[in-house]
Amino acid sequence: MVDNSNFLGSYPKTRLRRNRQSSWSRDLTSETSLSPSDLIWTIFVREGENVSESIPSMPEVECMSIDLMVKRVIEAYDCGIPAVAIFPKTPEHLKTEMGDESTNPDNLICRAVIALKKSIPQMGVVCDVALDPYTSHGQDGIIEDGQIANDATIEILAKQAVVQAEAGCDIIAPSDMMDGRIGRIRKELDHYNFKNVQLMSYSAKFSSSFYGPFREAIGSASNLGQADKRTYQLDPRNSDEALREVALDLEEGADMVMVKPGMPYLDILHRVKKTFAVPTYVYQVSGEYAMLKAAGEKGWLNSDDVLMESLKSFKRAGADGILTYWAVEAAKKIQKA
């Protein structure tokens, strides 16, 4: 280890406040930067035309029909945001025990991707691969004999990834946390000549209580009921296990990895980036967004300031990019700064 003691200086010869005394000096000496190109806007899409619905637990976030979504994504692109991640609110009558709608090439998410790519082809599109928006029980996999069936589930996930790629999806993002799904999806994509479609794996996705508003938004909360996902999502007490998950996904062909949630897992984010030095992303999940917004509405915090601070903390911890519901607002603030 290098001994830095001779370079640290001491007071009064060294005064660290000198570099903080003006805005331009703080900018020159900043160690972390945040730009619109670091942001992936997470959005919800629903059936219908010219219709949107608010999400009570997520202030200022709406679930939009495809036509309205396209207009908003064009706005996001104009703000410098390079990609969007789309999540569907599947109609209840289309949900089944096997999540059959997930592999329908004419499903809501595929139509949304087609519309986006037609209107704004230069915008990157990220699609979630998991069964929870499509299953009548709200789990990310299919159930056999009362348990989540890993190997049977990944066969469906592979088919789901292909129909999304056929629609024009640029980045397939499996969030299911089944063992072996990255290798199986990569094999299926390559088989159908989608060799250039990228894989962003939710490698370190924890079994978190911060997902509640998201499940409300996509309509899976009532389907899941009192059940949980602890048999496949990571235990919040574990850190080394998260690194093992990342290592396995990279070996199977992941192009980039993700840590989810964000702020409660900055240590995991930092370890992943330092250990593997691969493109590493973080998801500022619905519960994080909701609690900061709610505190702002109560007047306890300035929600804009704390949301911006949280995004900077992700970059400081090592994130190459951030999935956030607040991307458009953040991009506008960055541009005005």
Q: What is the pLDDT of residue 227?
A: 85
Q: What is the pLDDT of residue 5?
A: 55
Contact partners, residue 68, CB within 8 Å, separation at least 6: 50, 51, 52
Eight-state DSSP code of residue 209? G
**Parallel/antiparallel/unpaired status of strands 52-54 and 39-46:** unpaired
Q: Which CATH number covers residue 196?
A: 3.20.20.70
Query: Does residue 135 lie within any of the structural domains?
Result: yes
Q: What is the pLDDT of residue 18?
A: 94
Contact partners, residue 319, CB within 8 Å, separation at least 6: 38, 259, 269, 273, 280, 281, 282
Query: Does residue 195 lie within any of the structural domains?
Result: yes
Q: What are the phi and psi torsion angles at 76 (to 5°)?
A: -60, -40
On whether the CB atoms of residues 102 and 134 are closer than 8 A, the answer is yes
Number of residues that make up the chain = 337
Measured CA to CA, the distance from residue 24 to residue 46 in angstroms comes to 45
Residue span of the structural domain in which 118 resides? 34-336
Cα–Cα distances in Å, from 286 out to 9, 321, 323?
44, 17, 11
Question: From the candidates 95, 205, 273, 293, which is the catalytic residue?
Answer: 205
Buried b (16+ CB within 10 A) or exposed e, 278-317: bbbbbbbbbbbbbbbbeebeeeebebeebbbebbebbbeb
Best CA proximity match to 334, nearest among 314, 307, 316: 307
Q: pLDDT tens digits for the chain (337 residues)?
A: 556 556 678 999 999 999 999 999 999 999 999 999 999 999 999 999 999 999 999 999 999 999 999 999 999 999 999 999 999 999 999 999 999 999 999 999 999 999 999 999 999 999 999 999 999 999 999 999 999 999 999 999 999 999 999 999 999 999 999 999 999 999 999 999 999 999 999 999 999 999 999 988 898 878 888 889 999 999 999 999 999 999 999 999 999 999 999 999 999 999 999 999 999 999 999 999 999 999 999 999 999 999 999 999 999 999 999 999 999 999 999 999 8
Query: Does residue 13 lie within any of the structural domains?
Result: no
Question: From the candidates 89, 95, 229, 260, which is the catalytic residue?
Answer: 260
Query: Does residue 10 lie within any of the structural domains?
Result: no
Catalytic-residue membership of 293: no
Eight-state DSSP code of residue 27? H
Q: What is the pLDDT of residue 325?
A: 97
Query: Does residue 9 lie within any of the structural domains?
Result: no
Q: What is the pLDDT of residue 184?
A: 98
Query: Does residue 324 lie within any of the structural domains?
Result: yes
- CA atoms within 13 Å, Cβ hemisphere of 183: 11
Query: Does residue 316 lie within any of the structural domains?
Result: yes
Query: Does residue 11 lie within any of the structural domains?
Result: no
Catalytic-residue membership of 260: yes
Q: Is the pTM of this model over 0.85?
A: yes
131 burial (CB, 10 Å; 0-12 / 13-18 / 19+) is: buried
Q: What is the pLDDT of residue 131?
A: 96
On whether the CB atoms of residues 35 and 335 are closer than 8 A, the answer is no
On whether the CB atoms of residues 322 and 282 are closer than 8 A, the answer is yes
Number of domains in the chain: 1
Q: For residue 89, what are its two tokens? A: 């609110």
